[in-house]
Copies of this chain bind each other. A is one copy, B any other.
């Protein structure tokens, strides 16, 4: 577990994983303009580290040679349960900006949420997860 924290022990890495997982982010541009405010040098560094850790992989966009597509690996998508529990915890104990009933719903259907998350990953379905649940904004 301390090994895990050597990878995630910073403010951005897990957030990047979450954005790839549930918000449908794919490119450097997506992250840079998401409003989360990560500096581009840090972003580049974190993506590099996540790649080296085998959590993220890259492929050039077949339709636009300027773009690089980032994607979670199997190891990366396997973090879904961790993220989900953290989301549930945050909704319960912090003011999250996310509608609590939606999260409560997720907490009741953990397996269904995880299954859908994996399905999206397998099928490269980039649509954000939360609208599927609620038609609402992603939690902050």
Contact = CB atoms under 8 A, between A and B. Distances in A.
Contact of A1 (B75, B81, B86): B86
Given A11-B9, A82-B89, A85-B82, A95 B3 contact: yes
Chain A, interface residues (CB within 8 Å), range: 35 or more
Contact of A86 (B4, B10, B54, B88): B4
28 contacts: A1-B15, A1-B86, A1-B87, A1-B90, A1-B96, A1-B140, A2-B15, A2-B140, A3-B94, A3-B95, A3-B96, A3-B140, A4-B90, A5-B11, A5-B14, A5-B15, A6-B11, A9-B10, A9-B12, A9-B14, A10-B11, A54-B93, A75-B93, A78-B92, A78-B93, A82-B89, A84-B85, A85-B85
Given A1-B140, A2-B15, A81-B88, 16 more contacts: A1-B90, A3-B90, A3-B94, A3-B140, A4-B86, A4-B94, A5-B11, A9-B9, A9-B10, A75-B93, A78-B89, A79-B89, A81-B85, A81-B89, A84-B85, A85-B85
